[in-house]
Amino acid sequence: MDKIAIIDLGTNTFHLLIVEVNDGKETILFKEKIAVKLGEGGISKGNISKAAEERAIDTMKYFSHKLKEENVSNVFASATSAMRNASNGKEVIQHIYDETGISVQLISGLEEAKFIHQGVKKALEIGPEPALIMDIGGGSVEFIICDQTEVYWMKSFEIGAQRLLDKFHKHDPIQPRDIEKLDDFLRAELAELKMKMDIYQPHHLIGSSGTFDTLIDIDYQEKNITKPDENSFSLPLEDFDRIYNEIIHKNRDERMKIPGMIEMRVDMIVVAVCLIQFLIENNDFINIKVSTYALKEGLLDAIISNDLNIS
C-alpha cells in the first residue's frame, strides 16, 4: 500500500492530490486546489512578484502540513509556465524548499503537454478520429492532436490566460475591439496549430480541467441539472456559445452572479472563452468534451507506471 502526493504549482492555481495505491487500485485520500495567482503582477514582466511568492510559500506550507497529516513521503511537485519563465523562478523554488522541505521540479512545456495527454486518456475515450486536446493554463496553453492510439503533434504555447488578461482585457466588459486585437494576436501566435489542424482535421475538441470545469459547472447549474460525479462531460457547441456570449457581455460583478462561476476563474475566464471561440471559428469542430483530469493525473499515472521521464 503506497501513498503518493502530486503537487501541481500552476500559474493561477496550486493543486494537491494525495492517493493511496493498493494492487493497482487508486483511492483519492485528499484533493484541493488553491488560487495562488503566481503570475499576477509579474508574469508579463518575466518575474514572480514578492506578494505572489509569499502566497506560494504559504500554500506550500499548508500542503506540507497535509502531507505530514496523511503520512506521505512519496511526493512529486512540478512547476510550469510562470516558474519556468520567471527570472527569479529558481530562487522562488529554493525558498519553497527552505521553508517546507518540498523539492519542486520544473517541467518543460512539451513535458506538460505529454502529461496532460496522459491525464486526459485516463478520464475518457478519445476515440478513433483525430481530436484536439487543449489545456488553458495561466501561463501557457497546451495543444495535442491525437486519437486513442496515436499522438500526431503536441506543443505548448506561452499564451496562457494571465498573459492574455494582462495584454488584452483592458475594459470590463471586454470590448469588441479588444477581442479583435486578441484574435489577431492568436492568429499570428497559433499559425503552426492552424497548419496542423488543416493537416489532421480534428473535429472533436477536448478541454482539460480549469476553465472547462467551470464552463461545465455553469452549464449544469443554468439548466438546473445535478452534475454527476464523473471524469468527463459533453459541452454542446450551442451551450458553449450561450455561455460565451453571457461572459463577454458582463462585467466582473455580473459574471460572479452567473450560477457555477467561481472567484478563481472570474477574471481569466473572459480571455479563456475568447481563445476557445477563436478555435471554434477557425476549425470545424462538431462537439466539445471536457476531461476533469489533466496534468496532475497524468503525472500520477506516469509515477505508478514507472514512466516519469523528466529532463
**CA nearest neighbour of 48 among 76, 77, 79, 15:** 79
Does residue 54 sit within a domain?
yes
- For the chain, how many structural domains are there in total? 2
Contact assessment for residue 293 and residue 233, using Cβ atoms and an 8 Å cutoff: no
Q: Which of 71, 106, 141 is the last residue of a domain?
A: 106
Q: Is 267 in the same domain as 201?
A: yes
Does residue 297 sit within a domain?
no
Does residue 114 sit within a domain?
no
CB-hemisphere CA count at 13 Å for 52? 24
CATH code where residue 260 lies? 3.30.420.150
pLDDT mean across residues, the chain: 95
Burial track 39-50 (b if 16+ CB lie within 10 A, e otherwise):
bbbbbeeebbbe
Residue 23 confidence class, pLDDT cut points 50, 70, 90: confident
pLDDT in tens, 239-284: 999 999 999 999 999 999 999 999 999 999 999 999 999 999 999 9
pLDDT in tens, 92-131: 999 999 999 999 999 999 999 999 999 999 999 999 999 9
Residue 305 confidence class, pLDDT cut points 50, 70, 90: confident
Q: Model pTM greater than 0.75?
A: yes
Q: In terms of DSSP H, where are the helices of the chain? A: 50-69, 81-85, 89-100, 109-123, 161-168, 176-189, 191-200, 211-222, 237-248, 252-256, 268-281, 295-304
**CA nearest neighbour of 304 among 168, 119, 175, 144:** 119
pLDDT in tens, 169-204: 999 999 999 999 999 999 999 999 999 999 999 999
Rounded distance, CA 125 to CA 132, Å?
13
Strands 287-291 and 204-208, by their bridges, are parallel
Range of the domain at 265: 121-291
**CA nearest neighbour of 77 among 27, 121, 26, 17:** 17
Q: Taking residues 58-63, what's their average pLDDT?
A: 98
